[in-house]
Every structure is written in C-alpha cells, then in structure tokens.
Amino acid sequence: MNGKFVLGAEITRDRLDWGEMGWISRPADTQAKSICEIEVTLEPGFGHNFHKHPNQEEVIYVLAGEIEQWLETEKRTLKPGDSVFISPDVVHASFNVGTQTARLLVVLSPCVGDGGYELVDVSAEAPWNGLRQA
Amino acid sequence: MNGKFVLGAEITRDRLDWGEMGWISRPADTQAKSICEIEVTLEPGFGHNFHKHPNQEEVIYVLAGEIEQWLETEKRTLKPGDSVFISPDVVHASFNVGTQTARLLVVLSPCVGDGGYELVDVSAEAPWNGLRQA
C-alpha cells in the first residue's frame, strides 16, 4: 500500500464503557509499521488508569476538553493544544475530570502486532493505586 | 528522559513564509526515537509542494480549515477530523485552497537526525510539476 485517505466519517470506532477509540492508523488498516494513531473520546468521570507500553513511545495531544494527565508521579491539567510525550515503559494515566467529553489524538510508535499497541496495566500496584487519593 | 509535558503555549514555533511549524516532539526536544510530531499552520494560498520522506511513514490529521491533499496522483479535500496515511518514499503534497488558516497535526516516524525528519523535494519533476495544471 502506498498510503490511504482516512476520512473522519469513515473511521472504524470501537465503543467502550468509557468512550470511543477511532482508528486512524494501525497495521490491520493502513499496513503501518511505525505509526499507530487513534482518536480517543473520554467521557466525563472516566479515565485510562495507570499503565505503560513496554516498547512504544506515545504522544497524547488534546483536541477538545480537559484531562488530568499523569506522567509517573507528576500530574498536569492538559487543555486543547497541550500534549505529553511518554517514553517506552514509563507509567502514565489520563482522567477526564471536566464536565465535557474530552477528545484526544494519540500516537503510539512503533506498531506492535495487528492491533498496533500493547499495554501493561499497573493500576492495582503501589504506588500507582494510591496516588489519586493522596 | 522519561517523558515531557508539552504545553501549547510553550511550544517552539518556527515562523516560515507559508505558516508555522510548532514542535511537539523531535529528538532535540523530547529525545524521541520514533515520534516526530508537529503542529503545522498553513496560510490560505500556500502549500507544501510535492515531496517524499524516503524512510519515514507520515500521518497528516486536519485540526482546522481545509486542505487539498495529494497522495501520489490522487487528490482529496480534507476537513477537520480527516487524515491521510503516507507510506515511506511515497510522493504527496498539501495545499490550503480555502480562505481560512489550516491547522494540521503531522506525525513522521521513525525520527531521523536531531531535527526529526528528512525530505526530498520532487516538485520540479514530472509528473508532479504538471498535476495541478492538468
């Protein structure tokens, strides 16, 4: 494949309990090897709890709304136009603590498997399980 | 480096004749190896003429405005939420033919050199130099 136009109206969107994942690029769709890109919507009150991607870099860019973004034990509020770069195997989390739907453009690279990414959930482990109550 | 928060207000922006490049991630800033990410503004009447990146995949995502996007000899109008995946060494171009500033989120991967990307301009070569007049 030389490339592919991916129109917003035609994106495959996986509806989940906490929002939606719209696939812009992953090996199964674009034959990408390097760029796994996802338009994520995160509903108010929901989040992606502490996790890491062992072999992938990630950039999260906020398109709309507002998120509480964690990078290891550091926390920042990110608004539209803000982003975070996360090195491989570094623990992070994103929570929508606002009142409107948050929209994020997420890139993971390089791609892993057909789905494009892999994830290790550490939300039940210390210190991650106590950070937000502290 | 384990990662880096990159706030929109603090991004390094290179002002060029045709718009602006705002660096979200490149080796010099985030120590990225895989994700080179740029917020590009493209003023009406301007464009990024036909070129290719020999060893990098690219995804262009439209944040605002409207562009005439070429993928080899195929042309589409892309609006906010639309995108294009471009395989390595495949010729492409983007032109702002609308009346408002276009804003694009561009990812190139993997990173090349400190600047993050490399480019071969083919705009003076056939068939690319005659496509828009055809």
Determine the number of helices (DSSP H) and then strands (DSSP E) in chain A.
Answer: 1, 12
Q: Decide: B91 and B72 in contact? Cβ < 8 Å.
A: yes
Q: Is B41 on the interface with A (CB under 8 A)?
A: no
Q: What would the mean pLDDT of A48-55 be, rounded to a whole number? A: 96
pLDDT band at B17, cuts 50/70/90?
Answer: confident
Q: What is the pLDDT of residues B114-125, one digit of tens each?
A: 888 999 999 999
Confidence of residue A133 (pLDDT cuts 50, 70, 90): confident
Whether residue A58 lies within 8 A of chain B, CB to CB, comes out as yes
Best of B70, B83, B87 to mutate (most A CBs within 10 Å, chain A): B83
Is a pLDDT exceeding 80 seen at residue A10?
Answer: yes
Give the whole-number percent of chain B exceeding pLDDT 90: 93
User: Locate tokens 């929002």: which residue?
Assistant: A19
Distance between alpha carbon B38 and the CA centroid of its chain, in Å?
Answer: 7
Alpha helix (H) residue ranges in chain B: 27-30
pTM, 2 dp: 0.96
Distance CA B58, CA B83 (A): 10
Neighbours of A127 (CB within 10 A): 12
List, for residues B57-91, the tens digit of each pLDDT value.
Answer: 999 999 999 999 999 999 999 999 999 999 999 99
Over chain B, what is the mean pLDDT?
95
- In a 10 Å sphere around its CB, with 0-12 CB exposed, 13-18 middle and 19+ buried, how is residue A2 labelled? middle
Measured CA to CA, the distance from residue B106 to residue B99 in angstroms comes to 21
Interface predicted TM-score of the whole assembly (ipTM), two decimals:
0.96
A window 4-23, beta carbon within 8 A of B: 4-9
